[in-house]
């Protein structure tokens, strides 16, 4: 006979079945332990990645409050981990951006959607930072939104670069407009005088410059040739030269007849509003085509030259007074009348021509100017002024332009 069978009184299960259940339970516990360890390692890796991420990372709950922010978020916003609240962060935004960003934030939470924002905040170091951010909704186990996961990035350098580029484009546009306006102040075509050929040419060192030349119609059919140079180059001298032009044309229109009188009145206007350390050199040459004479008045400008048909210097039109704007009164006196003959050529230049430098530091000088004129003496006046500019350009080579360069030529065609 078989012996009595033993069974577990408490469980009603066979001992072998109980042992098997215990082993299964142990395996299940071990499985959960491994899963939990994996989750903890994953969470640790996530937090490590989030902590050292190159962008600010934040997580909010379904009320929009921060649940997690990383170190980069703190460095970007200027807030500490302890200060990481939506109210504190919004308070860092400049007033012009705060309401807009807050409205975007609150609307996204209410509508359970993602959102993006951009604004300026005042960092704890006192500086203004541009930041951009995006956030996506985080669904829970029941598909209900439980918060947002987002990033925030400091884009201050990019915005400053964009603003600098925009400012440069605007400045370039303004300078181009200024150049067009200034070029419009120069004669578009030379005057037509029977028996005479006149031309002028100006080359600017920058977009705008301080050189000026003109041909002013005077009473009794006479013509005043003007060449002038404001100290320096760029927008300041350009504005000054516009004032010089306006003064001269206004005086001519008022029937102001003598050279001394024109320059005296122009000096009075300029001196009244002339900035410190600014002045204008100017030379006026009055041509009488009927009497075939010239008379010059030079206020601190480089000398002019009257050459005969062989290229010899007949007269030098030296400075006889201070530049315009330096003193309350203009002391320049007009020189005597100089008779003209067929083949004569009058040359006026600014110091940007004579003082142009070569790469070796040598100046162009008076001799080279006269050589350029003599080499083209029997060509039209327009060809002569072009030849002067070409000679200066070739002489300068790779050396940058230091000053505006202007020349005016008057040729006597026949007796």
Q: Of all residues in the chain, what percent carry a pLDDT higher than 70?
A: 83
- What is the mean pLDDT of the segment spanning 133-161? 84
Question: Looking at 96-255, which runs of residues are DSSP E strands?
Answer: 115-122, 128-139, 145-154, 196-203, 211-217, 223-230
d(CA 255, CA 257): 6
Task: Give the pLDDT of residue 230.
Answer: 85
- What is the mean pLDDT of the segment spanning 110-120? 90
CA torsion through residues 227, 230, 233, 234, sign: negative
- What is the mean pLDDT of the segment spanning 86-98? 91
- What is the mean pLDDT of the segment spanning 40-59? 68
Summarize pLDDT for 334-368 with one digit per residue, the tens: 889 999 999 999 999 999 899 999 998 899 999 99
Which residues are within 8 A (CB) of 349 and not within 5 positions of it... i.e. 6 or more apart? 227, 302, 304, 369, 388, 405, 406, 407, 408
Summarize pLDDT for 368-410 with one digit per residue, the tens: 999 999 999 999 999 999 999 999 999 988 877 778 889 999 9
Residue 251 above 90 pLDDT?
no
d(CA 123, CA 145): 31
**Confidence tier at 6 by pLDDT (50, 70, 90):** very low
What mean pLDDT is reported for the chain? 84
Which residues are within 8 A (CB) of 18 and not within 5 positions of it... i.e. 6 or more apart? 8, 11
Reduced to 3 states (helix: H, G, I; strand: E, B; else coil), residue 237 is helix
Least confident of 46-60, 76-90, 117-131: 46-60
- What is the mean pLDDT of the segment spanning 106-123? 90
Summarize pLDDT for 213-227 with one digit per residue, the tens: 999 998 888 999 999
**Separation in Å, CA 171 to CA 130, 168, 183, 207, 365:** 24, 5, 18, 11, 35
* Neighbouring-strand partners of residue 409: 199, 347
Task: Give the pLDDT of residue 7.
Answer: 46
Residue 304 above 90 pLDDT?
yes
d(CA 130, CA 60): 22
């Amino acid at each position: 006979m078989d012996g009595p069978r033993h069974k577990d009184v408490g469980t009603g299960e066979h001992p072998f079945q109980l042992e098997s259940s215990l082993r299964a339970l142990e395996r299940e516990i071990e499985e959960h332990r491994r899963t939990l360890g994996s989750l903890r390692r994953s969470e640790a890796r996530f937090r490590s990645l989030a902590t050292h991420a190159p962008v600010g990372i934040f997580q909010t709950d379904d009320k929009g409050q921060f649940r997690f922010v990383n170190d980069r978020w703190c460095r970007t916003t200027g807030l500490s981990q302890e200060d990481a609240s939506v109210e504190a962060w919004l308070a860092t935004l400049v007033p012009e951006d705060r309401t807009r960003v807050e409205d975007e934030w609150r609307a996204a939470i209410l509508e359970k959607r993602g959102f993006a924002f951009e604004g300026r905040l005042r960092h704890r170091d006192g500086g203004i930072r541009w930041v951009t951010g995006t956030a996506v909704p985080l669904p829970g186990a029941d598909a209900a939104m439980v918060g947002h996961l987002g990033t925030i990035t400091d884009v201050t350098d990019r915005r400053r670069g964009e603003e600098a580029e925009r400012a440069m484009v605007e400045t370039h546009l303004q300078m181009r407009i200024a150049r067009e306006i200034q070029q419009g102040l120069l004669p578009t075509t030379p005057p037509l005088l029977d028996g005479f050929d006149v031309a002028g040419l100006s080359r600017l060192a920058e977009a705008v410059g301080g050189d000026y030349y003109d041909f002013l119609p005077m009473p009794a059919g006479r013509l005043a040739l003007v060449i002038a140079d404001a100290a320096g180059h760029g927008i300041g001298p350009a504005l000054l030269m516009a004032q010089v032009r306006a003064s001269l044309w206004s005086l001519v229109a008022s029937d102001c007849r003598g050279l001394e009188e024109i320059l005296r009145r122009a000096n009075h206007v300029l001196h009244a509003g002339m900035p410190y350390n600014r002045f204008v050199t100017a030379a006026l040459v009055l041509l009488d085509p009927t009497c075939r004479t010239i008379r010059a008045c030079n206020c601190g400008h480089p000398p002019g030259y009257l050459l005969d048909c062989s290229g010899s210097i007949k007269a030098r039109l030296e400075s006889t007074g201070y530049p315009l704007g330096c003193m309350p009164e203009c002391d320049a006196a007009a020189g005597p009348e100089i008779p003209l003959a067929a083949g004569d050529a009058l040359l006026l230049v600014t110091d940007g021509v004579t003082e142009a430098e070569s790469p070796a530091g040598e100046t162009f000088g008076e001799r080279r100017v006269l050589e350029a004129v003599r080499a083209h003496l029997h060509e039209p006046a327009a060809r002569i002024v072009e030849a002067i500019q070409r000679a200066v350009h070739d002489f300068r080579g790779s050396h940058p332009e230091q000053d505006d360069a202007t020349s005016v030529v008057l040729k006597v065609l026949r007796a």
